[in-house]
Amino acid sequence: MAFSRIEMILLLGLSAFVLRVLPQMFLVANSFPESWDRLLRYLSYALLCGLISITLFMTGARFEAESAPYRGIALAVTIVIAYKTKSPVTGMLVGVALVLTFTSLR
Amino acid sequence: MSFAQRFRQGMNAAIPIWIAFVPSSLAWGIAAQAHGLTLDEIILMSAWVYSGPAQFAVLAPLAEGSSAATVLLAGFLMNLRFLPMSAALAPFFRGAKRLPLLMASHVVSASSFIVPYLQFQKERGASGGGSVADGNGNLGFFVGVGATSFFVWVLGSVAGYGVALSFPLGLEEALKFILPGYFAGLLVAEMKDLTMPLICIASMLMAIPGAMFNPGWGWLATAAMIAIIGWRLERWLSRA
């Protein structure tokens, strides 16, 4: 069965909406046992960390080896600053400044 | 606190997300235009799919006219992450009005998950781990973060289509860093026990071979596996 591009976008959005809305339909009235709560938290955080990694270091299936070292250093500094100051924005700003510095030095 | 007050709180908390969304959504709009998508399709995709990674992932197969199964599977796998994120938020919305809640769930994204989730956890901690019953107020905060970020994303996509911006290389590099840098800062600022940092570090490292193996679902699978292994190990150690 052939779909037009608009139909495919509609189906794609529908699948995304179902994934978003199902927990709100069936899990709102429930409180999870502590261990399941932890599993959900770990799953969400692990996915977020995976997303950070592929956004920074990958383009499709290609590892961006040339820029990975300085992006990695900037990320590490961001993490340390955010941890020490308890301010994610400060960490991010320092990381951005570092990336700009590294890029201008290349 | 009223819904409106909590909404404003959420809006304030979302400002760094807006800043991060501007370059990402512009980049998406530019890329979509370059792949031959029309303005209607770009707006529809940004507003209805509303998922940066999935939108980028399906762009090429969609433009190349690949099979519907390929496009839908790639998008579905990229969007699977919404399931645990939405599930983790759900208990905080107990008592919220049903219809607004279901409509608001459309704006669940990585950003609109992590900011409210950490806020709700902080509030739960401050109340001694007890009540999370202010579902309506929590929904206000969530909508303040999610809906405003959503509009920034859609408007940015439209702007990206209209303006064929070419950023200088250095600036492009900095813009690419904003969102992941902010996510990393958010996560690390809230870390307490040992399991979570270990899971995060392992997920970040293993996402790369995972994405090299399969850019669509490889990193998702490795992240899910690491989370489950970490969770099982923690349970096993606590029992031992």
- Portion of chain B with pLDDT greater than 90, in percent: 35
Does one domain contain both B99 and B198? no
d(CA B59, CA A65): 24
Highest mean pLDDT among A14-18, A58-62, B2-6, B30-34: A14-18
pLDDT value at residue B139: 93
Domain carrying residue B200: 193-240
Q: Are residues B43 and B145 in the same domain?
A: yes
Of the three residues B173, B190, B207, the one that is the final residue of a domain is: B190
Top-ranked range on mean pLDDT: pick from B71-75, B87-91, B158-162, B173-177: B87-91
User: Do residues B108 and B94 both lie within one domain?
Assistant: yes
Is 90 exceeded by the pLDDT of residue A28?
A: no
User: B98 with B134, same domain?
Assistant: yes
pLDDT at residue B102, rounded to an integer: 92
Mean pLDDT, to the nearest integer, of B47-62? Answer: 83
Please tell me which residue, B142 or B68, carries the higher pLDDT value. Answer: B142
Exposed, middle or buried by CB within 10 Å (0-12, 13-18, 19+), for B150? Answer: buried
Distance between CA A52 and CA B197 in Å, rounded? 14
Q: Say if A16 is an interface residue toward chain B (CB within 8 Å).
A: yes
Q: What is the DSSP string of B187-202?
A: HHHT--SSHHHHHHHH
Query: Are residue B68 and residue B179 in the same domain, yes or no?
Result: yes
**Do B120 and B78 share a structural domain?**
yes
B32: number of Cβ within 10 Å = 25
- Provide the domain count of chain B: 2
- Residues of B with CB below 8 A from A5's CB? 37, 41, 62
The amino acid present at B131, given as its one-letter code, is S
Identify the residue with better confidence: A16 or A87: A16
Shared-domain flag, residues B62 and B26: yes
pLDDT: is B165 or A46 the higher one?
A46
**Cβ-nearest to B101 among A28, A44, A104:** A28
User: What's the mean pLDDT in B145-154?
Assistant: 95
Looking at residue A66, its pLDDT comes to 87
Domain ranges of chain A: 33-63, 65-106
Pairing, β A58-59 against β A62-63: antiparallel
Partner-chain contact B62 A103, CB within 8 Å? no
B207, A50: Cβ pair inside 8 Å? yes
What is the pLDDT, as a whole number, of residue A103? 85
- B208-238 confidence digits (pLDDT tens): 999 898 877 788 889 889 999 999 998 888 8
SS3 sequence of B85-115? HHHHHHHHHCCCCHHHHHHHHHHCCHHHHHH
Q: How far is B29 from chain A (nearest CA, A)?
A: 15
Q: What is the pLDDT of residues B166-198, one digit of tens each?
A: 556 566 677 778 778 878 887 887 777 888 899
A36 touches chain B (CB under 8 A): no
Contact assignment for B76 to A15 by CB distance below 8 Å = yes
Report pLDDT for B170.
Answer: 61
pLDDT of residue B132: 52
| Residue-level pLDDT at B83 | 87
The band of B32, judged by pLDDT with boundaries at 50, 70 and 90, is confident
Q: What is the mean pLDDT of chain B?
A: 85
Chain B: nearest CA to A26, how far in angstroms? 9
User: What confidence score (pLDDT) does residue B140 get?
Assistant: 94
Percent of chain A with pLDDT over 90: 34
Rounded average pLDDT over B40-54: 91
- Does B127 contact chain A (CB < 8 Å)? no
Q: Which of residues 176-195 of B touch A (CB under 8 A)?
A: 176-189, 191, 195
Assess contact for B157 and B46: CB atoms under 8 A: yes
Q: What is the mean pLDDT of chain A?
A: 86
Instruction: Round to whole Å and give the CA distance between B139 and B143.
Output: 6
In this predicted structure, the answer to whether residue B136 has a pLDDT above a threshold of 80 is yes
Whether residues B83 and B178 fall in one domain: yes
